[in-house]
Structure 1
Amino acid sequence: MITVRKLFSLKDGTRERKIIKILGEWERELSEGVLPDSLYLKEFFRALTQEQTLSSYGDLGTDLSVGSEDPLFLRRKINHIRHELIKALGVSPAEWDLIHRPDLSGAERKIFPCKIYLDEIRSPFNVGSIFRTAECFGVSEILLSAGTADPGHLRASRTSMGCTERIPWRRVEIEELRNLNEPVFAMELGGVELDQFIFPEQGLLILGSEELGVSPECLALAEKSRGVVTIPLYGNKTSLNVSVSFGIIMNDWSGEFLLA
């Protein structure tokens, strides 16, 4: 690691970005219960306090002697300083700037026998968010229409937190959906309210376009099978983000069977 003296001799802008990177690395280590080198840590905060343009952030570390052996205490302290520095640089943090809980990839992933179909979902952010939620709820496969944003898009991949590489996905034509030998239902306005909807034990859930909703072809397919489920809304906008709506639906659907 770069020495503290070298770190604080870097030019403005470069110095702050390097400090933010180091703080992020410490957070990742702390999230796994690994404490940073205590001598380097003390020297770092001492230099931070003495640096004229950064002294206010160094003050945040003056009480590190209290609870300094506690990884959660240190992580919260370092997280606060890192985000204050990000703010000082005039940068709004994105999802991928956040340091999340440790990856439990070693743990067995419980698979729920369901698939979802993304029907012309255009936003890479929404696609990534749907993949992330789908991974959490054990979705077995994600099917994509031709017009749905590419899960390999950088924004989708980042938003998914790597989940675009964990769930099998492929593009399919509507004809293939018609040949599926399993229940199909769609999430759309005007259907059966969520608390009244009877979910199949397995099947395919269709999520529609952010702009136009579920396509007429997919809607017809759902209505011939298990129908349409609707989330009751009480505001004037009546427009819930598709990835948020998906999470609400999956919580109810998987909860009926995975937690039974």
Structure 2
Amino acid sequence: MPNLSLSIARIHSLAKLKQKKFRNLEQKVVVEGRRTLQQLADWGIVPEELYLAQGEPALPAKAIYDVTPEIMNRICDSESPPAIAGLYPLPEERSVSFRSAFYLDGISDPGNMGTIFRIAAAFGVDSVLLSTGCCELGSPKVIRASLGAVYKVPFRVCTPSELKALGATVITLDMAGSFALQDYKVPPSAYIMALGGEAHGLSSAIKTMADVSLRIDMPGEMESLNAAVCAGICAFQLCRK
């Protein structure tokens, strides 16, 4: 069966999804790049529509469309779009019981946010909890940086009071933390690794409820690390114990 073609009206509609307000209105997002789409397919997540340019090989999809590079440029978010993209529903919040979780407090950078989700998927972190000040998870930049992990790792927005009510051990990452990360032994019960945003760090509400504050000892001459790097070091150190 030959692939389908997009109408001018449909192209215009898809191009609007580059804007947050239209993504929220339609509850859809265009996800681009073979590696991300292949990872989603490996998890059994299939696009509603698949768009192919320049004879790009197909992946499983409910409908497949041939498009020109010019059309791909119109409907994709990146400056140099690849030859494959797909239409997906926005990632949805869901609650799960967890042994380990990240709490992201004001993470506003899409690259850091997506990378932290990718780290969570790689190291088996069960859930990601988000403050209300975090960036949009349906952003194409977040989805690309996560390699699709925002669809795999359960997440939900969580206020400080809701976080406290979970009853898990709250571990904060702070350059002035009381204990070295490499010396800390995770508790036998559920624990939450709290990371602050790039500009302001952890809020006072989260610092106050911390059960333990850990630091990453650095022998070199660098004041701090960004949130995603801290998340990777923390997950590697704690989640394998």
Q: Aligning the two structures, in what range does the TM-score lie when normalised by the shorter sequence? A: 0.5 to 0.7
Structure 1 counterpart of 2:102, from 116, 129, 150: 116
Structure 2 match to 1:198: 185
Higher helix share: 1
Query: TM-score, structure 1 length as denominator?
Result: 0.54
Q: 3-state DSSP class of the match of 1:152?
A: coil
Give, as a single letter, the amino acid of the residue that structure 1 aligns with 2:237.
D
Give, as a single letter, the amino acid of the residue that structure 1 aligns with 2:118.
R
- Deviation at residue 235 of structure 1 after TM alignment: 3.2
- Give the whole-Å Cα distance in 1 for the aligned partners of 2:182 and 2:126: 24
Q: Rg larger in 1 or in 2? A: 1
- Give the whole-Å Cα distance in 2 for the aligned partners of 1:112 and 1:195: 22
Higher strand share: 2
Bigger relative CO (Cα 8 Å, ≥ 6 apart): 2
Q: 3-state DSSP class of the match of 2:134?
A: coil
Structure 1 match to 2:240: 255
Give, as a single letter, the amino acid of the residue that structure 1 aligns with 2:198.
E
- Deviation at residue 214 of structure 1 after TM alignment: 1.1
- Deviation at residue 150 of structure 1 after TM alignment: 1.4
1:187 to 2:173 alignment: yes
CA RMSD of aligned residues (A): 2.7
Q: What is the percent sequence identity of the aligned residues? A: 30
Q: 3-state DSSP class of the match of 2:112?
A: helix
- Give the whole-Å Cα distance in 1 for the aligned partners of 2:175 and 2:215: 5
Give, as a single letter, the amino acid of the residue that structure 1 aligns with 2:187.
P
Q: 3-state DSSP class of the match of 2:239?
A: helix
- Deviation at residue 178 of structure 1 after TM alignment: 1.5
Structure 1 match to 2:151: 165
Structure 1 match to 2:111: 125
Q: 3-state DSSP class of the match of 2:175?
A: strand
- Deviation at residue 93 of structure 1 after TM alignment: 8.3
- Deviation at residue 112 of structure 1 after TM alignment: 7.1
- Give the whole-Å Cα distance in 1 for the aligned partners of 2:182 and 2:157: 31
- Deviation at residue 195 of structure 1 after TM alignment: 2.1
Cα deviation per residue 1:96-125 (whole Å; 9 max; x = unaligned)? 89xxxxxxxxxxxxx972111100011011
Contact 1:112 1:254 in 2 (8 A): no
Structure 1 counterpart of 2:215, from 191, 207, 230: 230
Structure 1 counterpart of 2:197, from 201, 209, 212: 209
Structure 1 counterpart of 2:209, from 201, 221, 245: 221
Structure 1 counterpart of 2:139, from 150, 153, 157: 153
Contact 1:112 1:137 in 2 (8 A): no
Give structure 1 stretches of 5+ with no counterpart.
Answer: 1-23, 29-91, 98-110
- Give the whole-Å Cα distance in 1 for the aligned partners of 2:220 and 2:238: 24
Q: 3-state DSSP class of the match of 1:228?
A: strand
Residues 190 and 254 of structure 1: CA distance in aligned 2, closer, same or farther (over 3 Å)? same
